[in-house]
């Protein structure tokens, strides 16, 4: 099984890849790992290759070719590809996008030790610079490949990491990947925490009484409620159009996810 994982900056995808390796023995090929392999083949250091990539896009293409070759030559291995665009270049994979709110992403990178180049003086600065970097990457990939890696329709599973632990996300990814392999058809599923779909202050005491039976039912749910939720994707969150009561009940029952149909 080959799984390609990309996501928002600060979404925790590298941690998820590490856990898939530790818990389920998937090999992990990150873009950085492929780049180091290519540098060795060219008798260069990774720094020298990085400098060349800034001025010549052919090295991006060489890394893409290496990613494709690795996927072709290792069809019998369980591999995770940790890369912005591996979903496009790996010949057959379960394609995952890990999303996260900008506030949470900024808080995570503020707390991480990511080196001098990723130090921030405030949460607002982290949010601003993360948003700018994401916008720059989006333009770069559009210019080089004519691709939008932020388009959710590219993926089989889009999973929100804002309020869920990496361990839980890893188990869900593997479960969904196995179901995808078994079905043999292209599907796309968007899993979003109810805490991103509704705010606690929007749930009234009347709601708590009215939805008491549904909340009791949802407290038995381990991962995803069985209900139709439709929502508009806003710039940073979602605006529920249908199924708001289900979302409120899931919030109160502390269910990790709702499956959302984005419109």
- What is the pLDDT at residue 46? 67
State the pLDDT confidence band at 213, using cuts at 50, 70 and 90.
Answer: very high
Q: Pick the last residue of a domain from 159, 190, 221.
A: 190
pLDDT in tens, 135-146: 877 887 888 889
Same domain, 223 and 184: no
Enclosing domain of residue 32: 2-190
Say which range, 17-21, 98-102, 185-189, 204-208, has the weakest mean pLDDT: 185-189
Find the mean pLDDT for residues 204-223. Answer: 96
pLDDT in tens, 62-82: 888 888 998 999 999 999 999
pLDDT above 90: residue 131 = no
- Sequence-separated contacts (24+) of 237-245 with Cβ below 8 Å: 237/101, 237/196, 237/197, 238/192, 238/196, 238/197, 238/262, 240/197, 240/198, 244/198, 245/207, 245/210, 245/211, 245/214
- What is the pLDDT at residue 171? 95
Same domain, 186 and 197: no
For residue 158, which of 261, 85, 229 has the smallest C-alpha distance?
Answer: 261
User: H or E stretch including 109?
Assistant: helix 102-111
Same domain, 92 and 201: no
How far apart, in whole angstroms, are the C-alpha atoms of residue 170 and residue 13? 10
How far apart, in whole angstroms, are the C-alpha atoms of residue 153 and residue 158? 9
For residue 15, the domain's CATH number is 3.40.50.300
Structural domain count of the chain: 2
**In 44-143, which ranges are E strands?**
79-82, 94-99
For residue 111, which of 180, 38, 12, 232 has the smallest C-alpha distance?
Answer: 12
């Amino acid at each position: 099984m080959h799984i390609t994982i990309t996501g928002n900056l600060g979404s925790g995808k590298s941690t998820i890849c590490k856990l898939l390796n530790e818990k389920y023995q998937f090999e992990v090929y990150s873009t950085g790992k492929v780049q180091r392999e290519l540098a060795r083949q060219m008798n260069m250091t990774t720094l020298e290759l990085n400098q060349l990539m800034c001025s010549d896009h052919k090295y991006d293409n060489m890394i893409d070719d290496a990613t494709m070759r690795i996927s072709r030559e290792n069809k019998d291995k369980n591999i995770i590809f940790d890369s912005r665009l591996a979903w496009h270049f790996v010949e057959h994979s379960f394609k995952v996008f890990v999303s996260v709110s900008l506030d949470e992403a900024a808080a995570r990178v503020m707390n991480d030790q990511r080196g001098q180049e990723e130090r921030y003086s405030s949460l607002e600065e982290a949010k601003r610079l993360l948003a700018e970097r994401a916008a720059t990457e989006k333009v770069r990939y559009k210019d080089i490949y004519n691709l939008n890696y932020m388009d959710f329709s590219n993926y089989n599973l889009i999973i929100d990491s804002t309020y869920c632990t990496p361990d839980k996300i890893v188990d869900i990814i593997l479960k969904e990947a196995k179901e995808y392999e078994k079905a043999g058809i292209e599907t796309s599923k968007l899993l979003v925490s109810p805490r991103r779909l509704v705010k606690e202050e929007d749930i009234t005491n009347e709601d708590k009484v009215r939805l008491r039976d549904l909340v009791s039912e949802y407290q038995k749910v381990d991962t995803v409620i069985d209900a139709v939720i439709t929502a508009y994707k806003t710039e940073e969150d979602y605006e529920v159009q249908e199924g708001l009561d289900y979302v409120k009940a899931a919030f109160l029952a502390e269910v990790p996810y709702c499956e959302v149909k984005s419109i």
